[in-house]
Amino acid sequence: MAEQPEPTHFLHKLLNPQSLCIFGANENLLQNMGCQELLNIIDNGYKGKVYPIHPRLETVLGLKAYKTIAELPEVPDLAIILLPKRIVPQVLTEIGEKGTKHVVLVTAGFRETNNADAEQEIIDICDKYGIRFIGPNCLGIINTHCKVGDEECILNSTWVNYFEPNRPGNVSIASQSGTFVSHVCFLNPEIDLHYSKTISIGNSLNIDLVDCLDYFEQDTTTDVILLYIEEIKKGRGRAFIEAIKRISVKKPIIALYTGGSEAGAKAVASHTGSLSGNNNIYNAAFKHGVIRVNTVEEWIDAAVLFSKVIPIKAIPKGNRLGIISVAGGPAATASDQANRLGLKIPEFPDVLQEKIKSLLPATAQGVQASNPVDFTFTISPRVFYEQVPKYIAKMNVVDGMVFIGAYGRDFFQYHEIGMKFYNSEKVQQGLAMLKEFTESGIEYLKRMVKKFKIPIIFVNYLGIKDEIVRLLNSNGFTVFRMEHEAVSAMRYLMQYGMFLEKLNTRPN
C-alpha cells in the first residue's frame, strides 16, 4: 500500500515539532506544573531537542537551561508557556522575535476572569508575528504518533503521564477541558482506549474546535474524533457545521456538549469564560452526523467501541440487537435497556432457535432461544465464541450482538479448601484446555466479525483482572463491566451506522 501523504494543515507542524522550548519549568515537582509537563515530555520519550528557559537555573531535570529564547542555538518549532499572566506578553514578543510560529499557552487568568484587555494584547502580539497558539487556560497536547525526523515517538506536554496500556492509538480528542484529554482516561487501566492526538484548546483564542476538526480529517492516524464542547466560537458556527457535515461521513464524531442548561452555562462561564448556546441549536447542528452523548462515561464507552470497529468497517446497518447471556437476569436488564433506547430485539426464526437449542447445556433445556438467549450456564468456548455467533450472523437477523458472561480461569476464585481442589492436576489440565479452546474461539470470532461486518461486544463483571478481558481487548473486542454500558455504546454505534445508511455511504 502506498504511503499516505502527510497532512498539510498547520496543526501538523505544531503537533510534530522537531524541537521545542518550555517556559516556567523548574525542579519542584509537587508545586510546579511546568516541572510536571517537562518531565512528561522527557519521560514519554520525545526525541526532538528540548530547551528549558529559566532566568536563574543552569539546568532543569538534567537539561541545559537558557535564560532567554534569544540564546537558543536554533529556532524551536514549538514554545510552551507556563508563566504568570503578567509576563506572557513579553515572552510572546520574544518568541515572535526569535521566529517560532507555534505556541501552547497553558497560562490561565484571561477571559475566564473577565480580562478582555489582556486577551486582546496577546492576540495582537501573535497576529503581528504570525504565531498560531493553543490556549490560553489549557493543559497541553499529546501526539502518540509524533514524527521527529524519520522516528516516531510520543510527545506529551500535559501534566499527566501517558503510559502502557495506553499505547499509540486511533482516537483523537479536541476538548475545552484539560481533564478530558488527560487523567480521566489515562489513569484508569480499565479503559481500553488508545489515543492518536489530544488537544486541550482552553479558551480557543486562536486555535479552536473547527481547526482541530479540519486537522483530524486529514490525519491518517485518526479514525475516531471526540469533542468536548462548551461553546463554538463566535463567527465560527457555519464553519463548524460545514466541517461536521464533511467529516462525519468519513470519520465518526462523538461529542459531549456542556452548557445547554442554566446550571451548566454558569459552570462553563466560570471555567473558560464561554457563552454557551441553547441545547436546541446544538441538537440541530449535531443532526449532520455527530453522535451526541449525555455523560462522560458514555463518551468514553462509545469511543472505545468505535475505535475497535471503525478500522475493520464492522458498522451496523440497522438497530436490531442480539443478546446472548449465561444468565437470565443480565439478559433481561440488557433487553430493557435496549428497549428504552429504541433498539429492536427481534425474535429469532424457528430454524435458528432449534440450532441454538441443540447447543444448550442440560441445565438450560426448556429455556427459550428466541432472543435474548439464556444459556443458564455454559463454559464451552466453541459454543460461546464460534457456533452461536456464526448461526446468528449467517441468518442476518441482527445488526449487532452483545455477549454477557465471557469468563476465563479468573472466574474460579476460592478460599483455602477450594484452592486445594482448584490446583489439583485434573482441574489444571481442564483449565489449560479451556484456555486453548477459548483462544482459538476468539480467533475464529475475530475472522467472523470481519467477514459479516456485524459488531460483537462483551460483558464481564470481573473487569480487567480477568485474563479473558485482556485477551478479548488484544484481539480487537470491546468488553464492558455492565450490560447497560454495552447496550448504550452499541446504541450509539447503530445510530452512526443508520446515519451512513441514509446517505448510502461508508467510511473509507
Mean pLDDT of all residues belonging to the chain? 89
Grid cell, residue 439, equals 483462544
Please check whether residue 485 is in contact with residue 301, taking contact to mean a CB–CB distance below 8 angstroms: yes
- Domains 10-308 and 312-503 in one fold: yes
Give the pLDDT confidence of 308-345 residue by residue, as tens digits: 999 999 999 999 999 999 888 999 999 999 999 999 99
Give the three-state DSSP class for 229: strand
- The H or E element containing residue 43 is helix 33-43
pLDDT of residue 272: 44
pLDDT band at 265 (very low <50, low <70, confident <90, very high): very low
d(CA 115, CA 245): 35
Residue type, 397: V
Rounded mean pLDDT, 227-247: 91
Summarize the confidence of residues 151-161 as an average pLDDT. Answer: 91
Per-domain residue ranges of the chain = 10-308, 312-503
More confident residue, 435 or 63: 63
Cell of 419: 484452592
Mean pLDDT to the nearest integer, 70-95:
98
- How would residue 270 be classed by pLDDT, with cut points 50, 70 and 90? very low
> What tens digit of pLDDT does each residue of 498-507 get?
999 999 877 7
The count of other CB atoms within 10 Å of the CB of residue 207 is: 24
In angstroms, rounded to a whole number, what is the distance separating the alpha carbons of residues 92 and 128?
11
Averaged pLDDT, 400-404: 97
Q: For 144-150, which contacts have Cβ atoms below 8 Å and span 24 or more sequence positions?
A: 144/168, 144/169, 144/194, 144/195, 144/196, 144/197, 145/196, 145/197, 145/221, 146/15, 146/16, 146/46, 146/47, 147/16, 148/16, 148/17, 148/18, 148/46, 148/47, 148/48, 149/18, 149/47
- Max Cα–Cα distance, the chain, nearest Å: 81
Highest mean pLDDT among 105-114, 303-312, 325-334: 303-312
Give CA–CA dist 407/404, Å, rounded.
9
What's the rounded mean pLDDT across residues 394-410? 90
Mean pLDDT value of segment 160-183 = 80
Residue 369: count other Cβ atoms within 10 Å of its Cβ.
Answer: 22
Q: Looking at domain 312-503, which of 1.10.1270.20, 3.40.50.1000, 3.40.50.261, 2.40.40.20 is its CATH number?
A: 3.40.50.261
Cβ pair 452, 400 in contact under 8 A: no
User: Looking at 53-62, 226-235, 388-397, which range is the least confident one?
Assistant: 226-235
Nine cell digits for residue 207:
486555535
CATH classification code of 10-308: 3.40.50.261
pLDDT confidence of 475, banded at 50, 70, 90? Answer: very high
185 falls in which pLDDT band (50, 70, 90)? low
C-alpha torsion 355→359→364→368, nearest 10: -20
Residue 53: strand pairing partners: 23, 66
pLDDT at 361 over 80: no
428: how many CB neighbours lie within 10 A of its CB? 12
User: Which region among 88-102, 165-179, 304-318 has the lowest average model confidence (pLDDT)?
Assistant: 165-179
- How large is the average pLDDT for residues 145-169? 86
Mean pLDDT of 54-68: 97
- Cut 0.85: pTM above it: yes
As given in the structure block, the three cell numbers for residue 55 are 532566568
Q: Identify the pLDDT of residue 34.
A: 93
* Predicted confidence band of residue 267 (pLDDT cuts 50, 70, 90): very low
Q: What is the pLDDT of residues 207-220, one digit of tens each?
A: 999 999 999 999 99
User: pLDDT band at residue 377, thresholds of 50, 70 and 90?
Assistant: low
Instruction: Specify the pLDDT at position 269.
Output: 44
Helix (H, G, I), strand (E, B) or coil at 150: coil
Mean of pLDDT values over 289-311: 96
Judge whether residue 273 has pLDDT over 50. Answer: no
